[in-house]
Structure 1
């Protein structure tokens, strides 16, 4: 049985709530007049969430909110880092349902509002490491994925969990056009023991409020010891299956993006080193790089999942 050593959070390293709220209020006040006109039917402005602090949080200072919400990958809205923030307001996120099916005794379809009323939300301040070589620290709000899986009662034959993102080309401009960056829907997968691990969460918010569309609203996966593209956004289906599922980036280029995609500074991407990373929000393109840690710093909690595996072969 693994022993979890819980890091302590230094309150001085977390953005003071009053500073965060004042900044948000200033931004909201400037934008309020025009926001209602551009929000599509079914969209909602950020709402505050009730949550408890988690002892599983890192003690590192979170990346500034403006960087978290303006620098990210979400190819359904475009391939540039600023495209999701510019284009994602078109996505309707309410109402929202998530189907849980496959090798389960109780297949079901959750209405997100009902699901959230039955779980205890936590703030999990996690490191995020992108396969491209940059990193963030994000205060997610969510709950363990295992809670949803247990309710559906996985059968003994279930070995993997497959995830699927919404397809709405009329609302997601990156899904339109003759040339597509990826085949849609975006799909991802985990081994069942990875999915049931206490660090694996479904996130519905960040920085104390509901998720912005560009960050995967209204519900996304967060697996902090894997590269960021494993943490699939805007989930509509979770399936329990027997065999290893396809994933979008592995299907696109299996030589560059493995199924596991655990953060590993000793296994380079074919086109760049993974030994170091560039923290976002600490100096822009000229930010000092720092060493990348095995499993993104979560080795003590998750290394046992891969005992006996060749991490170069199962990258």
Structure 2
């Protein structure tokens, strides 16, 4: 465990308060050190930012969020998530893969290494931001899992823990059906832009941003970028995602950013970048058209929205 100087100072001060004559067992010391916060800094390959995107601040990106497991209010998750335990955190890998298994998030980091990806992020509600995520491409994980020929889709599920997520504890009165589910076609999942994030702005993800592990798919609306992942399955049939099940007339499986296809209740032609008062034009596939349009060649994007 890495111990920050401040944490070490506080630990030493705690021991001194016990008195010079007090005998502190090694197990007691170990227990105290285990309770100290982990160093949240991460080692990663920086993104050179070739498109010269202007980043939003950490405060903007972490204080205005959608995380329905905590609340439908965008500012409430900041406070409601602070007692969320994100370590250790095991993720289950099941379905049509070579070996079903459980892996801890730190094991994934050790296996695949970390890099930074500066991505545009576009919410279906019409707001956007630019965030420096830290993680690894999903295809690296899929290469490790070795999906078989039956695996046509990848299904993702958020952890279900009503003690940790207040909205899950509401049962039939919850704002959405829990646990949250998302899915991708296998070719979408294997695209180099599809990213598994464990950090942002140089450090581990904050609880309200989907700690400790989430998905980031920059050409799709934000609800596809599932948070606090508990389960990843390679499956044969298209998963029914949460918002599609909730309201199929308003939300589809693909959720590609498309300024030409409006949400039934509002236009998608423009967006408001967090921190700005005026709106800007929304780009097809959120500015990643050149990289991903080929995935949908020949498809009617109004029908398959």
- Bucket of the pairwise TM-score, normalised by the shorter protein: 0.7 to 0.9
Provide closer, same or farther for how the CA distance between residues 45 and 289 of structure 1 changes in structure 2, counting only shifts above 3 A. Answer: farther
Partner of 1:296: 286
Partner of 1:281: 275
1:59 and 1:169 map into 2 onto residues whose CA distance is 41
Partner of 2:52: 59
Provide closer, same or farther for how the CA distance between residues 42 and 59 of structure 1 changes in structure 2, counting only shifts above 3 A. Answer: farther
Gaps of 5+ in 1: 1-27, 33-40
Q: Give secondary structure in 2 for the equivalent of 1:176.
A: helix
Partner of 2:264: 270
1:42 and 1:153 map into 2 onto residues whose CA distance is 37
Q: Give secondary structure in 2 for the equivalent of 1:76.
A: coil
Partner of 1:77: 70
Partner of 1:167: 160
2:176 and 2:154 map into 1 onto residues whose CA distance is 21
| Partner deviation per Cα, 1:25-80 (whole Å, 9 max, x = no partner) | xxx9xxx9xxxxxxxx9794661100112357642111111011100100001000
Q: Does 1:241 align with 2:245?
A: no
Out of 117, 120, 123, the position equivalent to 2:113 is: 120
1:139-218 equivalences under 5 Å are 139-177=132-170, 179-218=173-212
Tell me if structure 2 keeps the 8 A contact 1:222–1:232: yes
Q: TM-score, normalised by structure 2?
A: 0.86
Q: TM-score, normalised by structure 1?
A: 0.84
Aligned pair count reads 274
Tell me if structure 1 keeps the 8 A contact 2:96–2:235: yes
| Partner deviation per Cα, 1:249-293 (whole Å, 9 max, x = no partner) | 0000011010000000000000000000000023xxxx1100000
Provide closer, same or farther for how the CA distance between residues 60 and 99 of structure 1 changes in structure 2, counting only shifts above 3 A. Answer: same
1:56 and 1:303 map into 2 onto residues whose CA distance is 21
Partner of 1:314: 304
Gaps of 5+ in 2: 1-5, 11-33
Q: Does 1:103 align with 2:93?
A: no
Tell me if structure 1 keeps the 8 A contact 2:157–2:180: yes
2:220 and 2:168 map into 1 onto residues whose CA distance is 25
2:51 and 2:165 map into 1 onto residues whose CA distance is 33
Tell me if structure 2 keeps the 8 A contact 1:51–1:122: yes
Tell me if structure 1 keeps the 8 A contact 2:112–2:141: no
1:44 and 1:82 map into 2 onto residues whose CA distance is 24
The structure that has the greater radius of gyration is 2
* Aligned-pair CA distance for 1:91: 1.5
1:42 and 1:167 map into 2 onto residues whose CA distance is 24
CA RMSD of aligned residues (A): 1.9
1:243 and 1:69 map into 2 onto residues whose CA distance is 34
1:279 and 1:137 map into 2 onto residues whose CA distance is 8
Partner of 1:7: none
1:227 and 1:304 map into 2 onto residues whose CA distance is 18
* Aligned-pair CA distance for 1:107: 1.7
1:167 and 1:42 map into 2 onto residues whose CA distance is 24
Q: Give secondary structure in 2 for the equivalent of 1:131.
A: coil
Runs of 4+ more than 4 Å apart: 41-46, 55-58
